[in-house]
Amino acid sequence: MLTRTVVFAALAGIFLPVSLTNAQAVDWRIVAAPDGRVLLAGLPDNTHRNLSEYRLGDAGAGQLGFLVRLTQSGLNGNWASRQGILTRYAQFGVTGPQGPGRTGGEAHHVFTDATGEIDTAADGQRIFLARAGDAAIPDTLTFGLWRWDTVKNTEIVRTKTDSTLGPGLGAGWTYTDASNFVHTRGLPGGGALIHGNARHATAGSTALVTRHVPGQGNVPCVRSDSTDALGPNLGTNDKFMSHWAPWDLTVTASGRVYGIFDITGARSGIWEICHGAPRAIAMENEVGTRGPSVGLADAYFSGLFRPYPATPGTFTFFAIYRIPGVVEGRYGLFRHDGAINRPIVGQGLTDTFGPHWEGSTWRSFQTTSLSTAGRYAAFGGSVLTTSNTEVQGVWRVGDGMAPEPVALIGQSGALAPEPGRTWRSFGANAVLANGDVILEARTDPGNVPAIWLLEHGRAPRRILEQGQSVPVPTTAGVVSATVNSFDLPDEGADFSRGFDGWIGADGHMIIKANISTFGDVVLSSRPSDKLFADGFQP
């Protein structure tokens, strides 16, 4: 990170042309601000807003979501943006459309707590974690997951029950507490991907991945310590181990689910799940189609990293591969093309899978820097030049294309940010479906932080920087404020994996900034909007 305080938001608010210093013209909007002097459609003015848990839906599309804590009774609950207007869809202490939607003897139940665990599906529906019950009877309070369908809330999962709201394993199996539901992901058509642990009074506990299907209930996809259809489906006695994490799961825009899991025998693999029985795609310590297709029949993976979706039915992932007789493993970037795991780049290589810059050789890769969108991927790495000098940079690669550097530290010329300036360090990055790269970076002279847009065939464009003047709509009219600082997470964007964050698949992005007079605000823009070639519309 360049300076670090991560907050997420989405696109909403009033259109604001931004007055720029060195940054090239980009339209930004203020979409969130605690200061009540800043006008936000749908929220009251002139009162401090206790806002938190801002998120931009992984599809983009103006999908703002945030939480207002219980301490602010007039505004408390979960909020979302609809057509640029902020709408509260879950409120503490009420029944009706903003309540938990329970029926019968539970119709009087209300929300009593929320955690900010919210995920946005591409169609704008939200999946969120909350607690509900009769506030006067603590024993009735249970955590669960709800789906907001843009009209009302429907409970889809509940702790302490083996009913249709339970884990789907049968009588006696229940989810025990709210820790089960961290990083739940929304799926198309009102579905949800649920990660957690289920418990049975006599059978013990099991780690579980479940898919919620509207009208059908919760359908288990993967279960630890199981050799049945929910197991690895490899050897007779192979079982999934229980220590996978929710961020090891990847959800594509179409609802396909991939995950990296450990199994008995001390090896890991990448599986497709929730689409029939688990199907292994890439495996450690295995040759053949589930190994690395590097042209050597006895090569195998010895380490695997999380999969990032590419074009439909394919994904990209970093891995460590080994060749018998070679002492050290090599890092590489691979693309599963639906049949085999073919290499894109490889450590120590100069040829087709090399850096494609002045005869240099790959030295290392920053595995957390990977970002994908459609047929493109972007990542950070370092190379050794022919004079044995290490150079760090950011590369872009398209399916069937050679890797190309887009920014190299300390270099002048075409790979510099602009005449008389060089790249100094890199933070967040995101590649879009047209191959454009959004890059957070510092440049010299002056160690200047900025957000840049790197487009095909054009010089880099600085789109946000310190000292930039930002018009702010207030109760007293539009005034000007100066950007003091801004912040993004120091890694590749993971919207392609189904995670809400700072940028969406359609190119909408958000930045948390601190501005003069008003303090923290969230700015949003869409600096790259020409995504037609890969199926996106502006």
Omega before residue 489 within 30° of 0, cis = no
CB 350 within 8 A of CB 359: yes
236 burial (CB, 10 Å; 0-12 / 13-18 / 19+) is exposed
Q: Give residue 22's pLDDT.
A: 55
Can you tell me the distance from the alpha carbon of 518 to that of 359, in angstroms, rounded to the nearest whole number?
50
CB 78 within 8 A of CB 114: yes
Using CA of residue 161, residue 167, residue 172, residue 178, what is the dihedral sign?
negative
Predicted TM-score (pTM) of the model is 0.91
Q: Give residue 6's pLDDT.
A: 28
| Residue of 232, 225, 260 lying closest to 246 (CA atoms) | 260
Q: Average pLDDT across each block of 10 residues of the chain; the chain has 538 residues. List them in order.
A: 36 38 72 91 85 86 75 80 82 94 97 86 91 95 94 95 95 86 89 93 93 95 93 90 90 96 94 96 96 94 97 97 89 97 96 95 97 97 97 96 96 95 97 96 97 94 93 92 93 94 92 94 84 42
Q: Give residue 76's pLDDT.
A: 86
At 421, which amino acid appears?
Answer: R
CB 478 within 8 A of CB 496: no
Beta bridge partners of 396: 378, 404
Q: Give residue 529's pLDDT.
A: 65
Contacts of 481 (CB under 8 A, 6+ apart): 469, 470, 471, 472, 515, 516, 517, 518
Can you tell me the distance from the alpha carbon of 339 to that of 326, in angstroms, rounded to the nearest whole number?
27
CB 310 within 8 A of CB 375: yes
Can you tell me the distance from the alpha carbon of 377 to that of 44, in angstroms, rounded to the nearest whole number?
42
Task: Tell me the C-alpha to C-alpha distance, in Å, between residue 107 and each of 153, 384, 415.
Answer: 13, 67, 63
Q: Which residues of 68-92 are buried (b: 16+ CB within 10 A; e: fewer)?
A: bbeeeeebbbbbbbeebebebbbbb
Q: Give residue 354's pLDDT.
A: 96
Q: In the chain, helix, strand, coil percent, each to 5?
A: 5, 50, 45
CB 342 within 8 A of CB 334: yes
Can you tell me the distance from the alpha carbon of 495 to that of 502, in angstroms, rounded to the nearest whole number?
8
Q: Give residue 19's pLDDT.
A: 39
CB 29 within 8 A of CB 10: no
For residue 247, the SS3 value is helix
Can you tell me the distance from the alpha carbon of 80 to that of 57, in angstroms, rounded to the nearest whole number?
10
Q: Give residue 3's pLDDT.
A: 40
